[in-house]
Amino acid sequence: MPSCGRRQRRPCGNARRFSRAAEATAPSRGALNSSLLAADLSGVSRLVLGQGLRDTRTALVRWNGKPGPIVRAWLGWSVAVASALLAAVYAIAVFSPPDPTPLAVPGVTHAATFSDVGYVLFRNGLVLALHALACVAGFIAGSSLPIAAATRHGLSRWVHEKAGPLAILFVGGATAFSLGTQAIVLGVGTASLSAQLGISPGVLLLALLPHALPELAALFLPLAAWLIASRRGEWRELLAATLVTVAIALPVLVLSAVVETYVSPYLLRALAGVGTHT
């Protein structure tokens, strides 16, 4: 067995094996840097999440103590947007040629069922989800990204600083596109249905107004919160606003769907002189 004394030039077998094992198990410089970067990103994520939750909790507590002003502001903007959409629908319906293809209207052309209520809720739920996601995107772009940018340097910081305004611009453009698309689709449908029932588009919209206005106002509550936050620069409150506006909108949408399916058809049949469906 070789000696392990001081004068031995080459390390003994045990020492060589220990050295190779240590080299194999020691992390490389690249792996160490990757671990540090992952830890840094994890810390930033926790910072952003924690700040977002604190801002959300603070906003909810403040609104719970005095809900009137903020709810009135949301409602005012949502009714304004809904009214603008209805005006656009009327204008498009007046100038659009009606489609001669008969439209199926629950309660008018066939007996209304609960599945018709479910279809209305599903359709409106998708729109509400889109507007709620716009709110969440505004919260991330306007509140979370600046916090993350403050912890970064160089190119990464520049990207985070520019990403927020660009994301807000994109969300605004996507929302405007959604509203324009809804106006066109509803306007063309109104023109076709009014021709089918033999009434003017204005009379048709008046008959649908009892359920249409509350429905649209509820759908636009998250969008109203987004507009108010953008005007005031209060992006950090948008997550709380999303939760509250969706909670307010859901029961209104359920009630509006029931009215649209079971009540509005009576008005349509009365105005159009259509008998009871068979």
Residue 278: pLDDT band with limits 50, 70, 90: very low
Work out the angle at residue 53's Cα, subtended by the Cα atoms of residues 58 and 40, and round it to the nearest 5 degrees: 140
DSSP code at position 236: G
Neighbours of 226 (CB within 10 A): 30
Q: Residue 21 has which token pair?
A: 């094992």
Three-class secondary structure of residue 110 per DSSP: strand
Residue 88: pLDDT band with limits 50, 70, 90: very high
CA-nearest of 141, 144, 160 to 152 is 160
Q: Residue 243 has which token pair?
A: 């939760």
pLDDT value, residue 123: 92
Q: In this predicted model, which residue has the larger pLDDT, 223 or 257? A: 257
**H-assigned helices in the chain:** 13-25, 29-65, 68-95, 114-139, 145-150, 154-197, 201-219, 221-232, 238-262, 264-272
Residue 168 has pLDDT above 70, yes or no: no
Is residue 265 within 8 A of residue 106, CB to CB? The reply is yes
Span 135-157, pLDDT tens digits: 887 777 666 555 555 555 555 55
Show Cβ contacts of residue 11 under 8 Å, excluding neighbours closer than 6 positions: 19
Q: In angstroms, rounded to a whole number, what is the distance separating the alpha carbons of residues 82 and 42?
A: 42
Q: In angstroms, rounded to a whole number, what is the distance separating the alpha carbons of residues 63 and 65?
A: 5
Residue 47 has pLDDT above 50, yes or no: no
Among 29-38, 58-67, 107-116, 243-252, the range of highest mean pLDDT: 243-252
Is residue 124 within 8 A of residue 257, CB to CB? The reply is yes
Q: Residue 109 has which token pair?
A: 């052309």
pLDDT value, residue 192: 92
Residue by residue, DSSP assigns 245-271 as HHHHHHHHHHHHHHHHHHTHHHHHHHH
- Average pLDDT of the segment spanning 66-85: 92
Q: In angstroms, rounded to a whole number, what is the distance separating the alpha carbons of residues 40 and 36?
A: 6
Residue 50 has pLDDT above 90, yes or no: no
110 beta partners? 106
CA-nearest of 191, 203, 187, 186 to 273 is 203
Work out the angle at residue 273's Cα, subtended by the Cα atoms of residues 271 and 278, and round it to the nearest 5 degrees: 120
Burial class (CB in 10 A: 0-12, 13-18, 19+), 66: exposed
Residue whose pair of structure tokens reads 């709620």 in the numeric block: 132
Is residue 244 within 8 A of residue 170, CB to CB? The reply is no
